[in-house]
Amino acid sequence: MTDFKTRAAGSLDAARRRTRALTDCLDDAELLAQHSPLMSPLVWDLAHVGNVEEVHLVRRLGHRPAIRPDLDEVYDAFEHPRAERPALPLLSPTEARDYIDTVRAQAFDVLDSLEGDAEERRTVLFLAQHEHQHGETMLATHQLREGEAVLTAPRPQASAPPGPPVEVLVEHGAFMMGAATDEWALDNERPAHVVDIPAFWIDTSPVTAAEYGRFIDDGGYEDQRWWTAEGRKHRTEARLEAPLFWRKEGGLWARRRFGRTEPVPGDQPVMHVSWYEADAYARWAGRRLPTEAEWEKAARWDRSAGLTRRNPWGEEDADTDHAGLGRHLEPAPSGSFPAGESPCGARQMIGDVWEWTSSDFDGYPGFRPYPGPDYSEVFFDGRYKVLRGGSFGTHPDNARATFRNWDFPVRRQIFAGFRTARDAG
């Protein structure tokens, strides 16, 4: 139990340090502003993570009196859409910081007193990952805000020479999809179940910005052959002509990245594309997006050993040799991290960019919601597409080959790219 408490406290502390770093770097006006109707004011996220921690850890597990019951409705993520949150009676930045500090002090007291049963462990790990998820959400808000750069990080370097094959084969066979015993797994990753998938080929690495640029240059956005009916409609209404944050400067593509304008690095995975754009590119290339099950099999299935790994490289957590997670403000070049290669030879399946799949978000057979239906189950309505793998903005505690993300197919503010696949034989 001591090891669990140490690990859980460390994860909670890391999440909070990132929450504070992403908010302490801005003045009150910036924290209260809504930088995009797609995102909450940063001060809402700041207090929301504390409120969820109060509800589930301080009150439910600790059986302690409510600290601020009046905040429950204000910071209910499902009661108020993001576009409406600036009009709510939000705590000021100072009040929000004081509130989350008060909650955290009691939360750590409760954590220290827990017996460590399965319910308690699952709740604490959920809360750590919940705040880590909001850390990435706040990072996306930083990317959307206008103004001077306030975030800095070292730039990633390629960790392998060029030369891996363009695509790798994943042979036919059944594998165990989802989480069986991983206590970090969230409700939508459970239960584990056997899936039999025909052989297919999948890109060794994510599609690069240079490759995507050729799609643009070939008239890919204007050619209706590559777009679904819904995609054509959205492309026209949204006037899509390149990834979000790209613009032409002197005949070359540049991008805005966290307040800086720079040339688009052609060797990095393309990023800030919607599902519709990823799907259109795949059709243009004579390929398709992988299903969610295909993606997970390519990431985890070790055919020679007859087992499904937790991560592409094995059971251990990611480190700096395995994946681009939580250290940079952009993805590493495609083909990096050979130490993180999956058994089939695919690279960067964890970290760098979230990858769109062709699958709708839904529960696995035997799904049971936790901590309630408003975390995952409410999104099982056929409107959301699954993304896999994590991004450079994902904390390692939220990165594993079973982790599932989801969003509307029109979304582009997330750190999303893709890789393509094709049938074998």
Instruction: Give strand pairing partners of 284.
Output: none
Is the model's pLDDT at 319 over the cut of 90?
A: no
Least confident of 119-123, 156-160, 344-348: 156-160
- Strand pairing of 173-177 and 193-197? antiparallel
Banded pLDDT at 158 (limits 50, 70, 90): confident
pLDDT tens digits for 163-198? 678 999 999 999 999 999 999 999 999 999 999 999
pTM (predicted TM-score) = 0.96
Higher pLDDT, 208 or 165: 208
The domains located in the chain, with CATH, are 2-144 (1.20.120.450), 153-425 (3.90.1580.10)
Higher pLDDT, 318 or 1: 318
pLDDT tens digits for 363-407? 999 999 999 999 999 999 999 999 999 999 999 999 999 999 999
Give 194's DSSP letter: E
CA 256, CA 61: separation in Å to the nearest integer? 44
pLDDT of residue 163: 62
Q: Which of 418, 410, 401 has the alpha carbon at shortest distance from 189?
A: 401
Is the model's pLDDT at 45 over the cut of 90?
A: yes
CA 297, CA 293: separation in Å to the nearest integer? 6
Contact 170, 393 (CB under 8 A): no
Which single residue is written with the structure tokens 């949150």? 85
pLDDT of residue 214: 98
138 CB-near residues (< 8 Å, 6+ apart):
19, 22, 23, 42, 45
Is the model's pLDDT at 425 over the cut of 90?
A: no
Least confident of 161-165, 237-241, 412-416: 161-165
Percentage with pLDDT > 70 across the chain: 98
Span 323-336, average pLDDT: 95
Is the model's pLDDT at 421 over the cut of 80?
A: yes
Is the model's pLDDT at 161 over the cut of 70?
A: no
Span 223-249, average pLDDT: 97
On the question of a cis peptide bond just before residue 373, with omega within 30 degrees of 0, the verdict is no
Banded pLDDT at 38 (limits 50, 70, 90): very high
Contact 350, 401 (CB under 8 A): yes
pLDDT tens digits for 59-71? 999 999 999 999 9
Contact 329, 392 (CB under 8 A): yes
190 CB-near residues (< 8 Å, 6+ apart):
178, 179, 364, 367, 368
Banded pLDDT at 1 (limits 50, 70, 90): low
Is the model's pLDDT at 22 over the cut of 70?
A: yes
CA 265, CA 281: separation in Å to the nearest integer? 19
CA 331, CA 350: separation in Å to the nearest integer? 11
Is the model's pLDDT at 202 over the cut of 70?
A: yes
DSSP three-state, residue 17: helix
pLDDT tens digits for 349-366? 999 999 999 999 999 999
Span 416-424, average pLDDT: 98
User: 354 — phi, psi (to 5°)?
Assistant: -60, 145
Q: How far apart are the first and last CA of the chain?
A: 51
User: 14 — phi, psi (to 5°)?
Assistant: -65, -40
Which single residue is written with the structure tokens 């592409």? 312
For the chain, how many residues are written?
425
Amino acid present at 145: R
Backbone region of residue 259 per phi and psi (left: phi > 0; alpha: psi in -120 to 50; beta: other values): left
Contact 51, 104 (CB under 8 A): no
- Strand pairing of 200-203 and 246-249? unpaired
DSSP three-state, residue 253: strand
Is the model's pLDDT at 159 over the cut of 80?
A: no
pLDDT of residue 256: 97
Handedness of CA 116, 122, 123, 126 (dihedral sign): positive
Strands of the sheet containing 200-203, edge to edge, are: 167-170, 200-203, 421-423
Is the model's pLDDT at 160 over the cut of 70?
A: no
pLDDT tens digits for 249-296? 999 999 999 999 999 999 999 999 999 999 999 999 999 999 999 999
Instruction: Give strand pairing partners of 137.
Output: none
Q: Which of 188, 136, 158 has the alpha carbon at shortest distance from 391?
A: 136
* Other Cβ atoms closer than 10 A to 81: 10
Question: CA triplet 173, 177, 183: central angle to 5 degrees?
Answer: 150
Q: Which of 326, 351, 356, 357 has the alpha carbon at shortest distance from 337?
A: 351
In Å, how far are 310, 361, 398 from 189, measured between CA atoms? 12, 11, 12
CA 55, CA 50: separation in Å to the nearest integer? 9
What angle do the packed helices 42-53 and 2-24 form, to 10 degrees? 160
In Å, how far are 199, 252, 365 from 196, measured between CA atoms? 10, 45, 14
